Amino acid sequence: MPEFQWDMTYVLGIEELDVQNKLLRDLVKKYFDDFKRSDITVPSLKSTLRVLLAHVGFQFDFEELCMKQTQYVNSEEHKKEHEHFRTMVYELLGLPEERVKQALDQTMRLNNWVQYHMLKSDARFAQYILSSNRQSDRIFQCDSTVRQLIQKYLRE
Ligand SMILES: [Fe+2]
């Protein structure tokens, strides 16, 4: 199963979006790593999926708010991708216990979605923000100490 290796090609240049994408990648990687373990229990796998769902609930809402505030033209298309990811997670959560550890294709699709979405759709949105100088908007401003911590986390 291919690993999703984080590197600086995933960094969009907007810390508030980058830190959330790195967290998303870390959670999907945890699910992948756990999925491969023979000693993992299904409740534990489902618990990771619920954490993932909680995280994307925050992340996607934040991104969508940014899109609204910056009047991003491709927001509807982007939101549909977010919804598709949530649906995939809900489908895995809804699987009967005996099928969760067999769901290799579905697990790989989560991984592929995250890579594709970050490199294409999120990158496109970040480019829009950067090219229109919208990163100075209040929504993108965080404390300089937080910014330093994020920068460190993104390089790990
Ligand atoms: Fe997104």
Domains and CATH numbers, the chain: 10-155 (1.20.120)
How does DSSP assign 97-120, residue by residue?
HHHHTT-HHHHHHHHHHHHHIIII
Distance 20 CA to ligand 1 centre (A): 10
Q: Compare 146 and 140 and report the one with higher pLDDT.
A: 146
Inter-helix orientation angle 104-116/75-93, to 10°:
160
Distance 18 CA to ligand 1 centre (A): 11
Q: Compare 34 and 147 and report the one with higher pLDDT.
A: 34
Query: Which element (helix H / strand E) includes 3?
Result: none
Mean pLDDT of 13-38: 93
Considering the chain, what percentage of its residues have pLDDT values greater than 70? 92
- HSE, CB side, 13 Å, CA atoms: give it for residue 149: 7
Sequence-ordered alpha helix ranges (H) in 37-101: 42-69, 75-93, 97-100
pLDDT in tens, 39-87: 999 999 999 999 999 999 999 999 999 899 888 999 999 999 999 999 9
pLDDT greater than 60 at residue 37: yes
Mean pLDDT of 10-17: 90
pLDDT greater than 80 at residue 144: no
What residues does the ion ligand 1 have nearby, CB within 5 Å?
A: 63, 122
Distance 109 CA to ligand 1 centre (A): 16
Per-residue pLDDT, 1: 54
- Mean model confidence pLDDT for the chain: 89
Cα gap 79→126, rounded to integer Å: 15
Cα gap 134→102, rounded to integer Å: 45
pLDDT greater than 60 at residue 18: yes
